[in-house]
Structure 1
């Protein structure tokens, strides 16, 4: 299951953005596309997966550690609570108009998740840990998701229609 969750989160986010655009006002502009993508990337791959990471690390730490190829650790509580903070703030950002809040969430996520991704790469190099929770899709989404948020915030700011919200 750990393998599929990040992939499914991204698929659901893209479909939800498409549905929102399809049901929204016309014309569908690059600004509206970027805005819809930003909302649903914040909401699902960053927000809901942050809550998923919190739940796993805090409530079933042995299973999560095994899926990553680690021994259980008291530090999982700290990782879980960091995931909770990212998840909650990303969900809030998804429904706020101010882009500065979304950018701050993206930067925080890049620092935490990007750092986790680097840790996964080190584990792969040093221990050949190819467990699904270490070397699977979560490794890629640790980098892709926060970078996508930052890029989408920048696009929403620079595309026609977005300057008034910066």
Structure 2
């Protein structure tokens, strides 16, 4: 998740627009929606659709045709993320859809850890933490953006 952060930082310093908390959150949102959710979810979804066996192996779960269905769900979040770069009214829906999916996935990972002691790289550790923290990070960014937008426009 370092690529969107690096992109936002470079964008901030190259941009001629004034730097403010609102501008910083705007760029973080654009980069995380476009690259993090958009490109990341498209890539993840394509892997799940094209090679679900690889995903099954990394998660420690058996192969299931549902992996392809999850792949198409990921592709839909990727498309939402990319559309959100162009259409700001897609920001909240993209973040909400992504949060619901990721927190549901986190609950599934936690269940697998508790019930089956599944500590596979695709089920526990970084994957689990990102499933929980990335949606929370994006929600906080969106709230800060909205609050600072109102503050900037009332000044």
Q: TM-score, normalised by structure 2?
A: 0.92
Partner of 2:47: 56
SS in 2 for 1:122: helix
Aligned length in residues: 153
Shift of 1:69: 0.5
RMSD over aligned Cα atoms: 1.6
Instruction: Give yes or no for the alignment of 1:79 onto 2:62.
Output: no
1:43 paired residue number: 34
- Partners of 2:149 and 2:33 in 1: CA distance: 22
Counterparts in 2 of 1:17-166, with a 5 A limit? 17-98=8-89, 101-160=90-149
Unaligned runs of 5+ in 2: none
How high is the TM-score relative to the length of structure 1? 0.86
Report which structure shows greater RCO (CA 8 Å, sep ≥6). 1
CA displacement at 1:161 relative to structure 2: 6.3
Post-superposition Cα deviations, 1:33-82, rounded to whole Å, max 9, x if no partner, equal 00000011111221112112211111111111000001110111110010
1:96-128 Cα deviation digits (max 9, x unpaired): 233xx2111111111111100110011011111
**Distance in 2 between the 1:95 and 1:116 partners?**
27
